Structure 1
Amino acid sequence: MFSIFPIEGGVCAANGFFADGISAGLKPNCEVDVAFIYSTSMCEVECLFTKNNFYAAPIAHYKMQEEKLKDDFKTNFVLINSKNANALTGDVGIMNIESIMSNLSKRFTEIKNPLMSSTGVIGVQLPVEKICESLSKINLNSKNNDNAKHAIMTTDRYPKSIAFEVVLDDNRSFKIGAICKGAGMINPSLATMLCFITTDALVPKNNLKEILQKNAYMTFNAISVDGDTSTNDTIMLLSNGQSGIYDKEAFSFALYKIMEYLSLEVVKDGEGATRVVAFEVLEAHSDDEAMVCAKALSNSLLVKTALFGCDPNWGRIASTIGASGVKCDAKRLQIFFDKVCVYKDGEIYFDRDNEEKAAKVLQKDSYKITCKLGTGNGSFTAYGCDLGHEYVKINADYRS
């Protein structure tokens, strides 16, 4: 058994990790726009990336390093820039990363096998000179999680970070922390965001990918804001092992709580979002079909706009289920807004009283829409938000 406690420090909380944010002039008014994460010892690293076929240059560079170094693939430094995605930039985009990494390694002999991540506008080459000039501002001894989490933000309304200390029954402990950004281009195919997780737990390399993938399935792979999958999605897990402690069950649970919190924060921060909604699908033919159905609901623009208007239009829910391609039968379907049943087994329960009750549910900041398909035992819950005027405004002006 184990206990888990929230602590301060975010991505700097684990032993041996440092981070900060600096200004390279990519954002106006000298705002921080480049973050770094540094470990005093080499880290095992595992990543999950976007499913977009046009993945960005930092992802291509990571995969090249992984293939080149194979079993020796470790790092102790990650550089993250905002405002520029370095995506669809061809070979030049990768060369620009290599130039920045080379500059880093020359300035700081402590840095080994540095990696890069980017977020921002697609189709623009990195301002290499600006970024390289800013590297002189890096202090590897800095523990400034606040600057780091602000530096990676783009359209986010607020920064996102969290950290835990996990104490085992014998009083040995390890720490885990993270920073994350994401608000738009969020789709359940990893989700469009950057998330960096650090831990001093001594996690075996062969456990990292398994645990990361399992927890992503129920968290970042289950959220949607607008149904668009970006070119830069990254979840990066760094383990430096400095605590010397590892318990698989405890680590997996702590990682899940980190990823659950941050993924729901991304939905809550959805561009212009006013509500967070859980789409729970039960009694599906299989878990996979439940997932397809739940994600269809969380992605539907018609459903999202109804949620924005607090309109309990259950017909849009039913229509989306029928269009999702899963096995379903109108005579077995049940639809609930929280505990308010509006449709059950072919019968409509949408009189004036129930409509008013359902409308009150939709006025809450968060609630659950449950759909029972009656075709099996499969289940899955996806998370989404409403979609309104502010989303259009933000994305119409994104490059400015």
Structure 2
Amino acid sequence: MISEGLSKPAAPVELPTGFSCHVGNIGMKDDTDDVMVLTADRLAAAAGVFTKSLFAGASVHLSQANVADGRAQAVVVVSKNANVATGEQGNTDAANLARRVGELVGCQPDQVLVGSTGVIGVYYPEGKVDAYFDRLVAAPEAALASRDATAAAAAIMTTDTHPKTASAAAGAATVVGIAKGSGMIEPDMATMISVITTDAEIAPDRLDAMLRRVCDVTFNALSVDTDTSTSDMVVMLANGAAGPVDEAELEAALGAVSGDLTRQLAFDGEGAETLIMVTVNGARDDAQAKLVAKAIVNSPLVKTAVHGRDPNWGRVAMAVGKCSDETDIHPDKVVIRFGTQEVYPTPATPEALAELEAYLASDEVLISVDLGVTSGGGGSFTVYGCDLTDQYVRINADYTT
């Protein structure tokens, strides 16, 4: 079940040894924090996974180029402005931001990864970035004195209701992640923005492969509203301060952190009241299981049924049936369950249906489907999403106004 604290402000979490951060207000929109700079005490192994959107922003393109050699020392994220569809000026602004962060941290501009999230098609306010960093560069030690990951997570929020952090141990090392994301979440890489840090020592190519494996079953298994952002990225820095650790332990810790953040993102979907987990097994392979699970969790009718506490398994069957290219799926072999209660093909009793209505009022709801394509295991996949409420419509109807 979802932990009691997921819908509440996160408790303070410290960054791993050798990392520090700065948060503040550049003036992108209002008087809340809208910039976060995170830095390592040395050049770190780095990896990143980025959106495949054709409208990817200037920050995404710059960060892809800067992380290509597997090394970085700092990450900066600006919220309230996506710097997307801003042409050459946007490219210039992203590069200038990296340059100014490099001055503050004491590294080269191409060792800075840049994230930007918020309204599309709006330029950074003229002069404000330079004026802000002029002040910081005058006293860099004071500017980068914090290790508060929770404050860093709060500074990158847009429509999130609370900061999202997670941490786990890996031998002598620690893995700490922050994330933002509430709407426009359907991954075609990772989804939203997440910055993950560790003081473990690992080679850049090993880190890159590990991050991609973990993203595939966590962030890439998340969907709030089927919309892929232009600004998505998950980046990870490993500064090696704690020395080498067992890579299996490190991957398990990274998986725990990424999985925790994924659940928090799903539960904080815009207007959401319920976290929906969909598990599909008995598939031909994991890819088929993921395809069907995404069809279910993305269905507006399934989402509204959960919101309305209606155990209408017909909507789940409908979503499975939409996967019409999967000709090895046969309805007479499919089994559908809400929680542990089978609802198809064996119908639930009236008493069981009444219990299911209460179950659907939980913070977390599990829908499981056995496709029956294979027996004794086969492909399986779990995805994460949320219900669809009238508040989601209101939030997005008023987003820029």
TM-score normalized by structure 1? 0.90
What amino acid does structure 1 have at the position aligned with 2:53? N
Partner of 1:364: 362
Query: Contact conserved, 1:48 with 1:236, CA < 8 A, in 2?
Result: yes
Partner of 2:65: 64
- Separation in 2, partners of 1:38, 1:343: 53
Stretch moving more, 310-319 or 89-98: 89-98
Partner of 1:342: 343
The reply on whether 1:392 has 2:393 as its aligned counterpart is yes
Query: Contact conserved, 1:284 with 1:373, CA < 8 A, in 2?
Result: yes
Query: Contact conserved, 1:191 with 1:224, CA < 8 A, in 2?
Result: no
What amino acid does structure 1 have at the position aligned with 2:44? C
Partner of 2:53: 52
- Separation in 2, partners of 1:107, 1:208: 26
Partner of 1:118: 116
- Separation in 2, partners of 1:76, 1:237: 11
Partner of 1:272: 271
Stretch moving more, 38-47 or 318-327: 318-327
Partner of 2:198: 199
2:98 to 87, 98, 101: 101
What amino acid does structure 2 have at the position aligned with 1:20? H
Deviations 1:102-130 (A, max 9, x none): 33444553565222111101111122521
Please report how far the alpha carbon of residue 66 of structure 1 lies from its aligned counterpart in structure 2 after TM superposition.
4.5
- Separation in 2, partners of 1:391, 1:122: 19
Query: Contact conserved, 1:342 with 1:354, CA < 8 A, in 2?
Result: no
Query: Contact conserved, 2:39 with 2:105, CA < 8 A, in 1?
Result: no
Please report how far the alpha carbon of residue 141 of structure 1 lies from its aligned counterpart in structure 2 after TM superposition.
2.6
1:108 to 1:220, Cα distance in 2 relative to 1, 3 A? closer
- Separation in 1, partners of 2:243, 2:215: 25
- Separation in 2, partners of 1:191, 1:361: 30
Stretch moving more, 138-147 or 274-283: 138-147
Query: Contact conserved, 1:275 with 1:366, CA < 8 A, in 2?
Result: yes
Partner of 1:85: 82
Please report how far the alpha carbon of residue 350 of structure 1 lies from its aligned counterpart in structure 2 after TM superposition.
4.1
Query: Contact conserved, 1:47 with 1:236, CA < 8 A, in 2?
Result: yes
1:150 to 145, 148, 154: 154
Unpaired runs of 5+ residues, structure 1, are 1-7, 168-172
Please report how far the alpha carbon of residue 391 of structure 1 lies from its aligned counterpart in structure 2 after TM superposition.
0.3
Aligned residues: 380
- Separation in 1, partners of 2:344, 2:215: 32
What amino acid does structure 2 have at the position aligned with 1:18? S
Partner of 1:3: none
Please report how far the alpha carbon of residue 282 of structure 1 lies from its aligned counterpart in structure 2 after TM superposition.
1.4
User: 1:182-221 alignment to 2 at 5 Å?
Assistant: 182-221=181-220
The reply on whether 1:329 has 2:330 as its aligned counterpart is yes
Please report how far the alpha carbon of residue 378 of structure 1 lies from its aligned counterpart in structure 2 after TM superposition.
1.5
Query: Contact conserved, 2:48 with 2:234, CA < 8 A, in 1?
Result: yes
Stretch moving more, 135-144 or 150-159: 135-144
The reply on whether 1:163 has 2:161 as its aligned counterpart is no
Query: Contact conserved, 2:99 with 2:108, CA < 8 A, in 1?
Result: no
TM-score normalized by structure 2? 0.90
Please report how far the alpha carbon of residue 164 of structure 1 lies from its aligned counterpart in structure 2 after TM superposition.
2.6
- Separation in 1, partners of 2:316, 2:186: 18
Query: Contact conserved, 2:49 with 2:190, CA < 8 A, in 1?
Result: no
What amino acid does structure 2 have at the position aligned with 1:147? A
1:116 to 1:128, Cα distance in 2 relative to 1, 3 A? farther
- Separation in 2, partners of 1:315, 1:209: 41
- Separation in 2, partners of 1:234, 1:157: 20
1:66 to 1:153, Cα distance in 2 relative to 1, 3 A? closer
1:333 to 1:164, Cα distance in 2 relative to 1, 3 A? closer
**Alignment root-mean-square deviation, CA:** 1.9
User: 1:303-318 alignment to 2 at 5 Å?
Assistant: 303-318=302-317
Please report how far the alpha carbon of residue 365 of structure 1 lies from its aligned counterpart in structure 2 after TM superposition.
1.1
SS in 1 for 2:242: coil
- Separation in 2, partners of 1:66, 1:92: 22
Partner of 1:37: 38
SS in 1 for 2:264: helix
Deviations 1:247-270 (A, max 9, x none): 111100000000000000000101
Query: Contact conserved, 1:156 with 1:182, CA < 8 A, in 2?
Result: yes
Unpaired runs of 5+ residues, structure 2, are 1-10
- Separation in 1, partners of 2:50, 2:187: 12
- Separation in 2, partners of 1:215, 1:336: 27
- Separation in 1, partners of 2:148, 2:334: 51
Please report how far the alpha carbon of residue 75 of structure 1 lies from its aligned counterpart in structure 2 after TM superposition.
1.8
1:76 to 1:341, Cα distance in 2 relative to 1, 3 A? same
- Separation in 1, partners of 2:112, 2:380: 41
Please report how far the alpha carbon of residue 351 of structure 1 lies from its aligned counterpart in structure 2 after TM superposition.
4.3
- Separation in 1, partners of 2:65, 2:125: 22
Query: Contact conserved, 2:57 with 2:83, CA < 8 A, in 1?
Result: yes
Partner of 1:170: none
Deviations 1:139-170 (A, max 9, x none): 12332323211110000011011223333xxx
What amino acid does structure 2 have at the position aligned with 1:80? V
- Separation in 2, partners of 1:87, 1:53: 11
User: 1:234-313 alignment to 2 at 5 Å?
Assistant: 234-313=233-312
- Separation in 1, partners of 2:144, 2:253: 27
Stretch moving more, 122-131 or 371-380: 122-131
Please report how far the alpha carbon of residue 313 of structure 1 lies from its aligned counterpart in structure 2 after TM superposition.
1.1
Query: Contact conserved, 1:281 with 1:381, CA < 8 A, in 2?
Result: yes
